Amino acid sequence: MSRPRPEPVQVVKQRRDAALAALVASVPYARFLNITFDRRGDELTAQLNFDHKLIGNPFLPAIHGGVTAAFLEMTAVMTLTWANLWERIESGSLDVEELASGKLPRQPKTIDFTVDYLRSGLPRDAYARATVSRSGRRYASVHVAAWQDHKDKLFAQATGHFLMPQEAATHSSASPEFVADAAPDDKA
């Protein structure tokens, strides 16, 4: 028996990039804050691109604490979603066109999220990377670190616990962990 021929590396990279772009585009708040993600293999690095609207205290000036918390939480949620989709992206079983058309995976729901503000966020770009400490069928725990100039000099960090999307039976023929851009069914 012969093994199936592996896909060209460029095809896999394009599929990864398209999937990530669709996920980020699905979160309007990420676009508002101008958060982008850089992918290196299975690892994501979030970037909060500086804009004057992000300043909370103009006298320092410092990035608003709510913006920092949202940036950290968004990094955690995207990293969890990316980790859950990784195997399907790699195998080619995930249809990127469906993602781009609005048929998106359910996002993990935040149970709790604790932010440690270590120093003021300066008026410049910020970066964050999340590490999944534990991820099971129902629950995940994530640690996020954010820095600006030097990765070793954090300005904020967070720990979050998330309820993972469940594969429940649905009325559509689509894969149960995916939902279309529609109003949620209150009967579920």
**pLDDT (tens digit, 9 = 90+) per residue, 29-85?**
999 999 999 998 889 999 999 999 999 989 999 999 999 999 999 999 999 999 888
The CATH number assigned to the domain holding 115 equals: 3.10.129.10
Decide if 113 is inside a domain: yes
Report if residue 48 sits inside a domain.
Answer: yes
C-alpha angle 152/54/148, rounded to 5°? 10
3-state secondary structure (DSSP) of residue 141: strand
Q: Is 47 exposed, middle or buried (0-12, 13-18, 19+ CB in 10 A)?
A: middle
Residue 173 lies in a domain: no
Residue 186 falls within a domain, yes or no? Answer: no
> Residue 130: which pLDDT band, with cuts at 50, 70 and 90?
very high
Q: Residue 158: which domain range?
A: 9-168
Flag whether 154 is in a domain.
yes
* Structural domain count of the chain: 1
For residue 188, being part of any structural domain is answered with: no
- Which one is predicted more confidently, 174 or 30? 30
pTM across the whole model: 0.82
Q: What mean pLDDT comes out for the span 164-186?
A: 50
pLDDT digits (tens, 9 = 90+) for 4-20: 677 777 877 888 888 88
In a domain, 37, yes or no: yes
CB atoms within 10 A of CB 37: 19
Paired tokens of 151: 């990765």
